Amino acid sequence: MIELFLGGTRSGKSKLAEQAASSSGKHVVYIATATATASDRQMQQRIERHRSSRPQHWKVLEQPFFLAEAIEEHASQESCILVDCLTLWLSNCLFHKEADFFLSQRQLLLKSLNNAAGQIILVSNETNLGIIPMGEVTREFCDRAGELHQEIAAISDRVTLAVAGLPLVLKDQ
């Protein structure tokens, strides 16, 4: 089963996804994609806030690039994998030194999701509810995020949009 939680910044999407993982009754593997430089104090605090909110018994992996490999390695009928979040993973991959790194990793991710056993919960920022971004890099990011969300929503059993901490179920099979 694949679940996708989308929402804006501070929308409650991570909290809703964590609640779904906790109630799964399975062994939770939390895959964190965020990275923070030494000078990015705000991101460091955001990461720490997420760390402190997770149950201690969850297995936590930090994987900023090779998400498909991590899913393949840990997916099983007894596990619930929670990935938080796809848009940070997308940023990491788009700015990777290899030119087509994101395109290859996206294909691997979609393949791993289609083949994964157990429950997979994915969290991502919905960035495309406003106007078309002015800058080329921002447009590229938003375009890739929108495409990725559509591809993952198509293979997901459940898709939820979080707004003000409330879940709006968009798809439920």
- Residue 14, SS3 per DSSP: helix
Do the bridges between strand 158-163 and strand 166-172 make them parallel or antiparallel, or are there none, so unpaired?
A: antiparallel
Average pLDDT, integer, range 151-162? 99
Q: What domains lie within the chain, and their CATH numbers?
A: 2-172 (3.40.50.300)
- Residue 115, SS3 per DSSP: helix
pLDDT at 53 exceeding the cut of 80: no
Distance CA 76, CA 64 (A): 21
Which pLDDT score is estimated for 128? 92
* Average pLDDT of the chain, as a whole number: 94
Average pLDDT, integer, range 33-42? 78
Dmax (CA) of the chain: 45
Which pLDDT score is estimated for 48? 79
Q: Which of 27, 50, 57, 96 is catalytic?
A: 50
Q: Model pTM?
A: 0.92
pLDDT at 125 exceeding the cut of 90: yes
pLDDT at 43 exceeding the cut of 80: no
**Alpha helices in the chain, H assignment, sequence order:** 13-22, 41-53, 67-74, 86-94, 101-115, 136-155
Tokens at residue 127, please? 């960035």
Do the bridges between strand 166-172 and strand 59-62 make them parallel or antiparallel, or are there none, so unpaired?
A: unpaired
Which band of pLDDT confidence, cut at 50, 70 and 90, is reported for residue 40?
Answer: confident
Distance CA 108, CA 69 (A): 8
Q: Is 50 an annotated catalytic residue? A: yes
